[in-house]
Structure 1
Amino acid sequence: MPAKEKQSIAIKAAEPAYLPQLTLDCIVLGFHQDQLRVLLLRWKGTQEWSLPGGPIQQSESVNAAAYRILKERTGLDQIYLQQFQVFGDLVRYNLPEIKTKLQHLINPELWYNRAVSIGYYALVEYSKVNPTPDLFTDECQWWEIKEIPNLLFDHNQIVEAALQALRQQINWQPIGLNLLPEQFTMPELQRLYEAILNRPLDPRNFHRKILSLNILERFPERRKGGAFKSPYLYRFNQEKYEAVLQEGNLSFL
């Protein structure tokens, strides 16, 4: 075998299993009891929390890595993902502090001096998620978005960046289609958008504008059991919803 081929094989054999210094951070968003929630992980033997994420295998695309990681954490095969930002500042967080806090789990010498992270947000139906920790964590659970603790790394800033991206993209992403159950009421849909936007919306204007898009189907039955007048149940017409998204004409706020 020629020397060049031997050298090539040796280099390939020594190639790491994962892309060095490149990771993913995933903001998994769900909506439950009128609250926007985010999925967080608690590291083993600590009270330290962070976002789900991980490295990218040499043999997979970046998107495939995100789907793999999120299936491992949520149990879902079909999940709506949107890449929203790359985080690549020279200094993103206090690395010596991270090494100290997690030294019982990860050899401090194995941390890269610098890492670049690709941010994804995922929109999921809360009731379908099976929160599952990974090898480094004891717990995986939902947190109300306004009550999340101080997270490891720069993950608080990543959560805020994801929310800003979601608000900017609210008129051209299928947000309600992914965050709500199949049947919902108009007040529930309004509260979802209020939770994302972090501000109240006028009910009559909201009702009128979203119905004008012709993407909802109303059921003859109403939601029972409330203290007030029982509201009608609706569902999205997915075909019409996707057509409106393609046209870029989902603006109703």
Structure 2
Amino acid sequence: MINDEISDNMRLHGVLTKEKYVKHLSVDCTIFSVQDARLKVLLLNWQDVEYWSLPGGFVKEDEDLDEAARRILYERTYLDNIFLEQFHTFGKVDRTSLKLSKDFLKARNLTFPDDHWLFERFISAGYCSLVDYTQISVFPRYNNESGKWFDLDKLPKLAFDHKEIVKKGSEYIRKNIDTQIAASNLLPEKFTMNELQSVYEAVLGENFRRNNFQRKILAMNFLERLEKLYDGSANKAPYLYRFRDVR
């Protein structure tokens, strides 16, 4: 195991030294999910580093930005084939930190001179997605990272400007909730209006009157009404629905 980790670190050092990446450009992914009726965000932590961070990485010279975001997310989380959208560009002059960057590299047994491109100014493209948290059960071993879902109002110490990225990412998810929920796989293929309402309430953090919610959703015409759900109870059987293709 130790030899494997050393080999992985040597491989990463070699890749970064060859400078195969676009300088000054990175990608950060805000991945949200619903757990216990609350919206949560996925954060990663390297052993021996105090700060948590978003899944992120660098863009290769021969790949499109969207392609880089998908690759980076898979390398950090094993998440694949999800609905991933670019939502904002982060470019404040002081958004990164030399010391913190070195701490992250030190956790991987990597060192570079102070004038290396890794420590220069970076502009980051923010991507976001709303996913079913059960899609993530393990993390790539060579990253030596742990991952955890956090409530948005109970975030740990975050690296760089990642707190701002989480904030803007959550705002984007809520603003585009209809498309995000339809593409998130948070619901089964067929679901009731009550199940859909529960997800909306968790993401938006507010409650809705059942009749008002149903009227608003049906007026948007992105649901297909199916058969009724008969479960043998005395209650009136609700209709089942499924999403039309919104991607």
Using structure 1 for the length normalisation, give the TM-score: 0.75
Q: CA separation of 1:231/1:18 partners in 2, compared to 1, >3 Å: closer, same or farther?
A: farther
In structure 1, how many angstroms separate the alpha carbons of the residues matched to 2:101 and 2:152? 23
1:70 aligns with 2:67: no
Which amino acid counterpart does residue 18 of structure 1 have in structure 2?
Answer: Y
2:181 to 175, 181, 194: 175
Q: Distance in 2 between matches of 1:74 and 1:93?
A: 23
Trace 1:50-89 onto structure 2 (pairs within 5 A). Answer: 50-89=53-92
8 Å CA contact retained: 1:34, 1:191: yes
How many aligned positions are there? 225
Quick check: 1:131–1:141 contact (8 Å CA) kept in 2? no
Identity within the alignment, %: 33
**22, 35, 39: which one pairs with 2:38?**
35
Give the Å deviation of 1:78: 1.5
| Offset at residue 79 of structure 1 (A) | 0.7
Greater Cα offset, 87-96 or 98-107: 98-107
3-state SS in 1 of match to 2:67: helix
Segments of structure 1 that go 5 or more residues without pairing to the other structure are 1-13, 246-253
The correspondence of residues 132-143 of structure 1 with structure 2, limited to 5 A, is: 132-133=139-140, 135-143=142-150
Kindly report the root-mean-square deviation, in angstroms, between the aligned alpha carbons of the 2 structures. Answer: 3.0
Q: Secondary structure at the match of 2:177?
A: coil
Q: Quick check: 1:164 aligned with 2:180?
A: no
Structure 2 portions without partners, runs of 5+: 1-16
Q: Is the 8 A contact 2:26 2:122 kept in 1?
A: yes
Q: Is the 8 A contact 1:183 1:233 kept in 2?
A: no
Partner of 2:4: none
Distance 1:162 1:51, change over 3 A: same
Instruction: Supply the distance in 2 between the matched residues of 1:176 and 1:28 (Cα, whole angstroms).
Output: 15
For the residues of structure 2 that align with 1:234 and 1:177, how far apart are their CA atoms? 18
* Counterpart for residue 221 of structure 1: 229
User: Alpha-carbon deviation of 1:28?
Assistant: 1.0
Alignment equivalent of 2:205, drawn from 194, 198, 210: 198
CA offsets per residue over residues 74-94 of structure 1, 9 Å max, x none? 434311011011101111144
Q: Aligned with 2:153: secondary structure?
A: helix
Which moves more between the two structures, 131-140 or 156-165?
Answer: 131-140
- Tell me, what secondary structure is at the counterpart of 2:120? coil
Change over 3 Å in CA distance of 1:222–1:25 after alignment to 2: farther
Q: Which residue of 1 aligns with 2:23?
A: 20
Distance of 2:228 and 2:212 partners within structure 1: 22
Conserved? CA contact 1:223–1:231, under 8 Å? yes
**What is the CA deviation profile of residues 58-108 of structure 1, one whole-angstrom value per residue up to 9, with x for unaligned ones?**
121111111112223343431101101110111114443553575443436
